[in-house]
Structures are given as C-alpha cells and as structure tokens.
Amino acid sequence: MKQICIAVATIFAASAASAETINFDTDSPGALPAGWEQGVTGRGAAKWAVAQDESAPSKPNVLRQSGVGSFPWAVLRGTSVGDGFVEVKFKALAGKEDQAGGVVWRWKDGDNYYVARANALENNISLYYTQGGRRITIKYVDAPVPPKVWHTLRVEFAGRRISVALNGKTYIDLQDDHIKAAGAVGVWTKADSVTVFDDFSFGSAK
C-alpha cells in the first residue's frame, strides 16, 4: 500500500510540474475566452463570458456563468488529460435553486464526463459521472462553502483513483472507473447558479 501511495504522489508531482494556468486576463470582457466552448447538459442555456472583477485572485478578469440550465459547462478545446489534475478558484455569487462551482475532466462531450462540485447553498462537495446525459452521484460529503467567498477546488485523478479537495483539504478519495479515456477539462455550474471562476489550472501525468 505504501508503494502505491508513493507512486500516486509521484504522478501528481509530475502533473504539477507540467501545469498550465489560465487566468482570463488577456481575454476581452463580454465574450468566451479564446479556445473555450460552452454548452449545457440537459435543458436551458449557458452564458459564459469573461468579466472584470476587482476581487479576482489574479486581477482583473474572471470567467462568469450567468445563464440558467440543467448543468452549464465550459471546456478548453484541444485538451486531453487521462491522469493528472484540474483546479480552479471560484466564488458563488447568487442562485435560488443552486450556488455551485465545479470542474470537469475526462470530458468526451456534453453528455459524458466526470464532474466534482462544491455548493454554497447545501454546504457540501460532490463527485459525479455523467453518462449519456445523465448525472449519477458517486459521493456527497458535507463541507463549509460560504457564498461570496473565493474557494479553491482541486481534483487529482490517476487510473481509478479520484481525490477531491476544497481549500487544501481532501474530502473525497476513492476508486471509480466509469470513465477511463482521456478527455478535455473545464468548469461547470448547475441550474441558476451565478458563479465566477479564476486561475484555472490543469496538468497531465508524464
């Protein structure tokens, strides 16, 4: 078991060494950032756009989602990560039904991907896989997620192992193999969540 843990730690260290971070500061406000695409799993309409935010961890810009849909997503085209990590800073601003911020990985299309999210209305973190357009729960864990505060959500994944951390604390660490192939990475919200994102990072294990 110790050797397995060391091997996994080595994979994630390699991922961090090859990380790329996108802070949206060179993109024009009011439009999708360059190289990204948006959509919704289910019904509704996504509305992702770069916006200025004086509270941004890296000023001046953030990526903001203000549309209403089942599960709005935005992914970075051309990315393909099988084992590695994805991380983002997010702040939930509003939403009567939900106030969620999440990341997606091993994204094949708008109906097939993994997603981990934190919810400021429910004060929890959850891990799902989406298959055939259907979101299926893997695990829920209670966690403090105050609204209108910046948080860091990070997922590390290698083979079947998935680890989800919020603000540096790991809340979910388990094995799952519903989606095995490499895929794109991106960000995600739910329902009427108005959420902003900054410092989107990802990396592949070498």
Q: pLDDT tier at 205 (50, 70, 90 boundaries)?
A: confident
pTM summary value: 0.91
Question: pLDDT tens digits, residue range 179-191?
Answer: 999 999 999 999 9
Q: How far apart are CA 206 and CA 204, in angstroms?
A: 6
Q: Which are the contacts of 178, defined by CB distance < 8 A and separation ≥ 6?
A: 114, 129, 131, 136
Q: pLDDT tier at 14 (50, 70, 90 boundaries)?
A: very low
Is 176 a residue whose pLDDT tops 50? yes
What are the structural domains of the chain?
A: 2-204 (2.60.120.560)
